[in-house]
Amino acid sequence: MGNGEVVRAFTAIGAKDIEKVWKKPSIQNALASGELIESNLVEPSSVGLKEPWVTAMTHPLIPFISYPYEWTFSMLKDAAQLQLKLTRETLADGIGLKDATPYNVQFIGSRPQFIDAGSFEKRRKGDPWYGYRQFCEMYLYPLMMQGYLGVGFQQFLRGSVNGISPDTMRKLLPASIRHPRKGRLTHVVLHAAAQNRFADSDNNMKSDAAKAGMNAQVLDATLRKLQGIVKKISLGDKKSTWSEYSERGHYIESSLDEKQKFVRDAVASAPRKQVWDIGCNDGVFSRIAAAHSDYVVAMDADPLVVDRLYNTLKAEKNEQILPLYVDLTDSGGGVGWRGQERPGVFDRGRPDIVMALAVIHHMAITFHVPLASQLDMFRDLTPELIIEMPHADDPMVRKLLTNKRDGIHDDFTLEEFERLLNERFTVKSKMLLSSGTRTIFHAVRKS
């Protein structure tokens, strides 16, 4: 809606679900705590809706929609814990959740929030937990993959909107005597075997389970045990290329101070609703931007670096900086039904200003994205840009060029960069950092 709200409408069946559960204490507690998104029931006619809509609900806008494959291990783990907590608490009130997908969770800064208020329904006695398989495929297995194997889950979730199947997970996750993998036997091996065994079964398992005494206590026990498993899965491999390294190590102290001042002045020069910090590393410039804007999306191509930032922000209860794992050279998009279900990162937000500090040389030299193409991307993305250009003699540039074929990056020069920048942007200010090997620009897009 134009007033900054999201409207969700329900047909008669959905309205009946909502009517039965909405006043329950567990739902009201989740709303009060912010674990469930603020939701206001309204008459459909009040928001311009007619039949077949029977009930409508309004929600505030999420500042930036992110997807599980852009989250880090700790983010997915926190989202999983929120999912299990809400499922258990509502179960005690006779409420069932229709599904268990992390796409129903969004992060407000570092705080996870459940956004699918329409997922709740009155649980019928004997009902199983309908979201169990989805929970395994989209939460548990990705966490196991990273925690037990040290393999990042993001590319798997990005590659399949439905996550990792039990059969695939069984093949990927062997038993280990030295490092027992809690939950593997039941939730992976047995799950895959049961899936295969009953693939073409016409058994009415739901009815059989109900007759055998399936009840909320059994489900609660399953949920409680899953909470224990998720809690114990920890990030195994905690080192990456950049996690033990800050490019700022190359700066002399005065360079860092003046760069911070430059960024502060540029961001504070106008009101900002949303700032993107591309290549955020430990978030020091995201924090500067946050002091002068409503919301900062902090992106980095190293998930472990982002995970560390997330945990720091979480400890501070920071709801203004959203840390995301995004590799701009391979950011994904067009996932799901008709390639439109999960749009790419560039289609989900419009920053007022973008910061690209200590980034473009990595994209240019390591990933061979020409400077012109990078600047085209920035021109399409943002009306204002703060960008740092390391010169050809910068220590990091020399390091990146070490094993490259001679001559292929001869155009990576300050002069060429300025020429390309001036074609697309008007430079408002620029500064040569004290190190003498980097220049930072504040530029405004040419109309």
Partner 1 sequence: MFSYLDAGTGSMLVSILGGGLAGIGVFWKMIRAKVTGKPMPIRDADEDDADDSSHN
Does 22 engage in binding with partner 1 (CB under 8 A)?
A: no
Q: Which is nearer to partner 1, 13 or 315 (CB)?
A: 13
Does 213 engage in binding with partner 1 (CB under 8 A)?
A: yes
Q: Which is nearer to partner 1, 104 or 110 (CB)?
A: 104
Q: How far apart are CA 206 and CA 87, in angstroms?
A: 19
Q: Token pair of 100, please? A: 């268990």
DSSP structure string for 76-103: HHHHHHHHHHHHHHHHTTTEEES---GG
Q: How far apart are CA 426 and CA 246, in angstroms?
A: 30
Does 231 engage in binding with partner 1 (CB under 8 A)?
A: no
Q: Token pair of 265, please? A: 């002045």
Q: Is 167 exposed, middle or buried (0-12, 13-18, 19+ CB in 10 A)?
A: middle
Q: Pick from 47, 151, 161, 190: which binds partner 1 (CB under 8 A)?
A: 190
Does 264 engage in binding with partner 1 (CB under 8 A)?
A: no
Does 59 engage in binding with partner 1 (CB under 8 A)?
A: no
Q: Do 274 and 256 meet the contact criterion of CB atoms below 8 Å apart?
A: no
Which of the stretches 71-79, 107-115, 222-230, 272-280 binds partner 1 when contact is defined by CB under 8 A?
222-230
Q: Which is nearer to partner 1, 190 or 372 (CB)?
A: 190
Give the nearest distance from C-beta 141 to partner 1 in angstroms: 13
Does 133 engage in binding with partner 1 (CB under 8 A)?
A: yes
Q: Token pair of 379, please? A: 């021109």
Does 198 engage in binding with partner 1 (CB under 8 A)?
A: yes
DSSP structure string for 314-369: HHTT--SEEEEE--GGG----BSGGGTSB--GGGS---SEEEE-S-HHIIIIIS--
Which of the stretches 164-172, 250-258, 262-270, 371-379 binds partner 1 when contact is defined by CB under 8 A?
164-172
Q: Do 143 and 84 meet the contact criterion of CB atoms below 8 Å apart?
A: no
Does 181 engage in binding with partner 1 (CB under 8 A)?
A: no
Q: Pick from 136, 143, 280, 290: which binds partner 1 (CB under 8 A)?
A: 136
CA distances to 29, 38, 192 from 32, rounded to whole Å, are 5, 8, 39
Q: Pick from 113, 119, 286, 382: which binds partner 1 (CB under 8 A)?
A: 119
Does 26 engage in binding with partner 1 (CB under 8 A)?
A: no
Q: Do 324 and 299 meet the contact criterion of CB atoms below 8 Å apart?
A: yes
Give the nearest distance from C-beta 354 to partner 1 in angstroms: 37
Write out the residues near partner 1 by the rule CB under 8 A: 13-14, 16-17, 96, 98-99, 119, 121-122, 124-126, 128-130, 132-133, 136, 162, 165-167, 186-187, 190-191, 193-201, 203, 205-206, 208-215, 217-222, 225-226
